[in-house]
Amino acid sequence: MAKPVPPPRPVQPPLSRAAHWRRAHRMTVLLLLLWLFTGFGAAFFARELAGLSVFGWPLSFYLAAQGASLVYLGIIVFYAWRMRQLDRAAAQATVPEPHA
C-alpha cells in the first residue's frame, strides 16, 4: 500500500530588496531586545529570584548560568533558520527568468 503524499509546502512570495531589509532589520532588533532583557533581567531580579531555590541553589544562579545561555542559543538558531527563509525568498525575486 502506497503512503499518502503530503500536501506541498506553501511557497513564500518573492521579496524585494526593501522588503527583505525591513523584515531582517525588524527581526534583528527584536532578537537583540530579547537578548538585552535576558541578560539584564536575571541580574536585575536576582534578589527576588534568590528566594527560590532549585536543588539547593538559588534560582538566580540557574538563570544566569544555564537559562540565559539556552536563550542565547535559541536566538542564534531562530535567526539562522529565519534568515535562510528570507534569503531564499529574496533570491527568488532576483533570479532572472530564462528566455524562451
78-91 pLDDT, tens digit each: 999 999 999 988 88
pLDDT recorded at residue 62: 74
Question: 65: closest CA among 80, 76, 54, 79?
Answer: 54
Residue 67, domain member (yes or no): yes
pLDDT tops 80 at residue 98 = no
Residue 57, domain member (yes or no): yes
Residue 17, domain member (yes or no): no
Q: Which structural domain range is residue 58 located in?
A: 29-93
State pLDDT tens for residues 34-75: 999 888 877 787 777 778 887 887 877 777 778 888 899 999
Question: What does the block give as the cell for 39?
Answer: 541578560
Residue 47, domain member (yes or no): yes
Residue 48, domain member (yes or no): yes
Q: What distance, in Å, lies between the first and last C-alpha atoms of the chain?
A: 41
Quote the CA–CA distance of 61 and 63 in Å, as a whole number. Answer: 6
Residue 8, domain member (yes or no): no
Question: How many domains, the chain?
Answer: 1
Residue 60, domain member (yes or no): yes
